[in-house]
Structures are given as structure tokens and as C-alpha cells.
Amino acid sequence: MSKTYRVKTPYVTMIQKSHIDFIVQTRLPIDEADIVNALIDKYLKDLKAEDVIEWQKKYTEK
């Protein structure tokens, strides 16, 4: 099952840059979705509710 999420513009820009960098570095076809899924797979298990609340406060201050 898949679901669409909104990603903040600065993060989209970072994903696009990483996408290009990874393709140049590896010369392999790597999709932007693969980067996002790898990021989630690597870090989501360690994410705490406090981290999300802290990010929300930081983001709404901008």
C-alpha cells in the first residue's frame, strides 16, 4: 500500500539534490522515492513523539 504525503519545499529541494548526487556517484538509477523510503527505513524506528513536537514548534516559528 502506498500513500501520498506533503513534503515541505526545503526538504524536496534536498531530496532532489541528493537524487542527482547519488546518480552521479553510483551511476545507478535511483528514484527520489527510494531516497525518501531509505530515509524513513533508517530513522523512523528511532523517532520519538518529542522529536515531532520539537520539529513542529521549530517549523511554526519560521
- Tell me: the pLDDT tens digits for 2-57? 999 999 999 999 999 999 999 999 999 999 999 999 999 999 999 999 999 999 99
Q: Please tell me the pTM assigned to this model.
A: 0.83
Question: Residue 7 is which amino acid?
Answer: V
Give, rounded to a whole angstrom, the gap between the first and last alpha carbons of the chain.
Answer: 34
Report the pLDDT value the prediction gives residue 27, as an integer from 0 to 100.
97
Q: Which residues of 22-33 are buried (b: 16+ CB within 10 A; e: fewer)?
A: beeeeeeebeee
Q: Give the span between the Cα atoms of 42 and 48, in whole angstroms.
A: 14
